[in-house]
Structure 1
C-alpha cells in the first residue's frame, strides 16, 4: 500500500525521492509565506490563472476563446498570444493603454468526472500593452519555456487592475497587490494528475479515507471521489443519487514538496486505521 501511494504522487518516478533540496522546494517554501501574507483568495486566483489551458478574452461586445495562448509572468501579469490580423488583435490595438478595457474570464473545473464540476471562476479587468522583451529578464526558466510554447503571433500583456474570484457560490474581490505578491499553490500544477491517479488506481485508499467521514454524511452514498488537492489538505466528495457533499481532510502539516504529499496521505490513512471513527472531516 505505501509503495503504491508513493508512486501515485510522484509521476516522474523514484528519482524525485532523493531528499535533495531543489528549486521547486525553495519555491514551495516561499509560497507558505505567500498565503499568510496575501490570503487564500490571491493564491487561488494565481493558481487558477497559472494552470488554465484556456480563457475567454472580452473586448467590448467581442468575445474570443484562447486555447493554450496565455502565460502568467512572475508578477501576475498575463501574456496573451493573439493574431494581429484577427478582429480581437485589431481591438487590442484600439484599446491599448486604456485601464480596465480588457476582460479575461477563466473557469476552473474539477479534474475528475463528477457532476457540478465548476470549482472557481476568475474575472480579470486589465490594461493591454504590447509585450516588452525586456520583461524576459525577470522571468524564470519555466516561464521562458512557456512563452516559447505560445503560438507564433503578436504578444500582448494584460496588467490586472481589478480581479474577482467566484467560488462556493459567492464572489469576492482580490486585492491586486496581494495577487501580485502571491504564488500558486505548490500542488496546483500537478493536482489533476494526482487526483486522476488516485480516483482511477487507488479505490482502496479512498475507501480508507472515507472512514474519516461522519457516517451520517455517507449514508446512501454511491461513491467517494477526490475532487481537490492543495498543500493543506484533500477534499472528498460523497455522491448519492440525488445529492453530494464535499468534505475536507486537512493535513497535519502543510505540504511543500511531492514527498511531503505522500507522507501526509499516509498520515491520514494511519489515522483511519488507528481510530476507525468519524469526525475528522468537515463539510466545505
Structure 2
C-alpha cells in the first residue's frame, strides 16, 4: 500500500489529537533515539528527557566531535533530527507501532526552564548523564505507520501530554505476559476466543482508555480492544480497571450480567 500523508487535527473530541499523544507517549516511554545533525547520526540511550511544553532535552558531551556539530548547529532551523521507533514492549509479530521523526532547532539548555517544569520533568532531567544538556525545539513532527504518514501540527504536539499509562505500560504488559499467564486465559474467555484456534493471545497495549489483546495464528493476527469503564489516570486506577474487566467476565460466566 502506498504511503499517504495526512494532517492530524489539533483536537479530537475535546482531547489532544491521538497522533500528538502517541508522539509524546513514545518520547516518554522510549529509552533510545537517534540524533542526526550535519549529516552525522548517533544513537542516544537513556540520554533524553521531555519538558512539559514538548522541548526535548538531550545529553551530549560538548567536547566531542558530535558535540561540536551541535555547537555549530545552534539556532539554525531544521538543523537537528530525532528519530525513534515506538514498539510494542512484548514479543509479538508486527511490533512496530509507529516511526516518529522530529526536526527542529537546537540550543544549549537553559536551567531557568526548571522553573516551569513539573516534578516528573525535573526528575527526568536529574536522571540524565552528567554531560552538556541541549534543548531541541520541534519545528515539524511526523508519525509514520505501515501505509500512512501523518504530519502532526506542532501546536498539537505542544498541547498534548503523554498517555497516563505510557511510562508504566511496558511493566504491566510484561507482568501480564510472564507472571499472569492464567489471566490471559481468562481474557480469552472474556472475548470468547478459542485458544485452540489461535496460537496465542497476548496483551500488546494498555492506554488510559483500555487494554488491547493480539490473537496470533500461524499466518495472521488481529487485535481485540477491551475498553475500561473509566479513563485511567494513575496505576491505582489501572489496576482497578484491569480487575473490573476480569470481574465482568466472571459475572457473565455465572449469568450475573
TM bracket, shorter-chain basis: 0.7 to 0.9
Task: Give the gaps of 5 or more residues in structure 2.
Answer: 1-10
Q: How does 1:85-164 map to 2 (within 5 A)?
A: 85-164=63-142
> Is the Cα contact below 8 Å between 1:34 and 1:43 reproduced in 2?
no
SS of residue paired to 2:75: coil
How far is 1:34 from its partner?
9.5
> Which residue number in structure 1 is paired with residue 246 of structure 2?
269
- Partners of 2:88 and 2:230 lie apart in 1 by 24
Instruction: Count matched residues.
Output: 243
The worse-fitting range, judged by mean Cα deviation, of 110-119 and 44-53 is 110-119
- Partners of 2:124 and 2:59 lie apart in 1 by 12
How far is 1:214 from its partner?
5.6
Of 209, 221, 227, the match for 2:198: 221
> Which residue number in structure 2 is paired with residue 78 of structure 1?
56
> Which residue number in structure 2 is paired with residue 22 of structure 1?
none
Of 208, 216, 219, the match for 1:239: 216
- Partners of 2:69 and 2:13 lie apart in 1 by 36
SS of residue paired to 2:14: helix
TM-score, normalisation: structure 2: 0.87
> Which residue number in structure 2 is paired with residue 187 of structure 1?
165
- Partners of 2:95 and 2:151 lie apart in 1 by 22
Of 211, 215, 218, the match for 2:189: 211
1:202 lines up with 2:183 in the alignment: no
- Partners of 2:20 and 2:229 lie apart in 1 by 23
Post-superposition CA distance 1:51-94 (Å, at most 9, x none): 21110001142111011111101110001111112222111112
- Partners of 2:50 and 2:236 lie apart in 1 by 26
SS of residue paired to 1:189: coil
> Which residue number in structure 1 is paired with residue 6 of structure 2?
none
SS of residue paired to 1:42: helix
How far is 1:178 from its partner?
1.3
> Is the Cα contact below 8 Å between 1:34 and 1:182 reproduced in 2?
no
- Partners of 1:152 and 1:265 lie apart in 2 by 39
How far is 1:272 from its partner?
2.3
How far is 1:219 from its partner?
6.2
The worse-fitting range, judged by mean Cα deviation, of 54-63 and 263-272 is 263-272
SS of residue paired to 2:72: helix
- Partners of 1:178 and 1:100 lie apart in 2 by 19
SS of residue paired to 2:236: helix
SS of residue paired to 1:75: coil
SS of residue paired to 2:124: helix
Of Structure 1 and Structure 2, which has the larger fraction of its residues in helix?
A: 1
- Partners of 1:252 and 1:263 lie apart in 2 by 10
Question: What value does the CA root-mean-square deviation take over the aligned residues?
Answer: 2.0
How far is 1:169 from its partner?
4.0
